[in-house]
Amino acid sequence: MASPGQKVVLITGCSSGIGLRMAVMLANDEQKRYHVIATMRDLKRKDKLVEAAGDAYGKTLSLAVLDVCNDDSVKQCINGIKDRHVDVLINNAGIGLVGPLESIPIEEMKKVFETNFFGVIRMIKEVMPDMKKRKGGHIIVVSSVMGLQGVVFNDVYAASKFAMEGFCESLAVQLLKFNVTLSLIEPGPVHTEFEAKMIQDVKQKEYPGTDPDTVHYFKNVYLPSSVDIFETLGQTPDDIARCTKKVIEASSPRFRNLTNPLYTPIVALKYADETGGLSVHAFYHMLFNLGPLMHVSMTAMKYLTCGCLRSRTVSPN
Ligand code: NAD
């Protein structure tokens, strides 16, 4: 249970990746300012988190079951918290989906929206009314650079994050009236199970209903570039956790927080040309005409910078 003066932080999707590292970092805050409720669908998957949390487990970190896709699970979790009091809600749980559109069943696409979009809304609907009543609170949503700029073969995942961005832009204005803050965290590539699952999935899948050219572009053109980008520019879950902690601790938290400033020009490209042609054609050339050159330059960058590009890429500040 939280001690007086401690902020209650509830995080979704803490059994791995970014959520796990956020829980560990906040629970190990030197000044013990937070009591973290780290949630996951299945507590059988708690071991990695418990081990990483060390002494904080049972003191500044407690665990709870929560499936963002299930109304009852969300309600039960929030009802189980003393006075239903959550100061900071971090919506981190999410799933990816990559591949040729033709091969993806609508049901799989709906699952992405159910988790990445409705999952967040379900959480906000449960926690926000209490925050509004108390005239205080901070809602954080882990979006993505792909919530601002679409990426080829990530059509549905990007759409789910775009939807989230529109939802948050709209809601943030109303919440301001109630002294409730809303912030978006927008990471580029991050080394987590997300990336590993994507690569594993691609190896197993056959892409039924997709013409051979598209499968070729996906497997032999897009995927190698994507792996290069992850290897060269990918941040660590700790980078994202550090950025999120800064957002929580800022005196006036920013609404948008791109964690990797190397992506700022890509996002700017979109707004530099109102016709949208510039970014569509730039991405086309990068992928289909400059692919081999990009591979060479990414490999060179990786070796020349010894990975320091990754450590330099944490904003804000
Ligand atoms: P991850 O797969 O390690 O973590 C996602 C977590 O969400 C997992 O622990 C998973 O069990 C949980 N989860 C999935 N469905 C859930 C549900 N219905 N209820 C509760 N929990 C559920 O991947 P990650 O990279 O740590 O992803 C965290 C967030 O970061 C996601 O929202 C993702 O979209 C976002 N993100 C990731 C990257 C990246 O490159 N890894 C980049 C930008 C944004």
Closest among 4, 38, 42, 37 to 20, alpha carbons compared = 38
Return the axis-axis angle of helices 119-134 and 155-177, rounded to nearest 10°. Answer: 10
pLDDT at residue 147, rounded to an integer: 97
The CA-to-CA distance between both ends of the chain, in Å, stands at 33
pLDDT tens for 193-210 read 877 787 788 878 889 899
Question: Residue 94 sits in which domain range?
Answer: 7-311
Which is higher by pLDDT, 67 or 309?
Answer: 67
Residue 228 in tokens: 């290069």
Q: What is the pLDDT of residues 238-270, one digit of tens each?
A: 999 999 999 999 999 999 999 998 888 888 888
The answer to whether position 317 is within a domain reads: no
Task: Evaluate if residue 181 carries a pLDDT over 60.
Answer: yes
* Any domain includes 32: yes
Examine residue 231 and state whether it is found in any structural domain, yes or no.
yes
- Among protein residues, the one whose CA lies closest to atom 23 of ligand 1: 194
3-state secondary structure 79-126: HCCHHHCCCEEEECCCCCCCCCHHHCCHHHHHHHHHHHHHHHHHHHHH
Is 217 noted as a catalytic residue in this protein?
Answer: no
- The residues lining ligand 1, judged by C-beta closer than 6 Å to any ligand atom, are 12-13, 15-19, 41, 66-69, 92-95, 115, 119, 142, 144, 187, 189-190, 192-195
Please give the tally of structural domains in the chain. Answer: 1
pLDDT, tens digit, for every residue of 61-87?
A: 999 999 999 999 999 999 999 999 999
Task: Tell me the CATH number at 58.
Answer: 3.40.50.720
Q: Is 91 helix (H, G, I), strand (E, B) or coil?
A: strand
pTM: 0.93
Assess if residue 91 is contained within a domain: yes
**Residue 2 domain-assigned (yes or no):** no
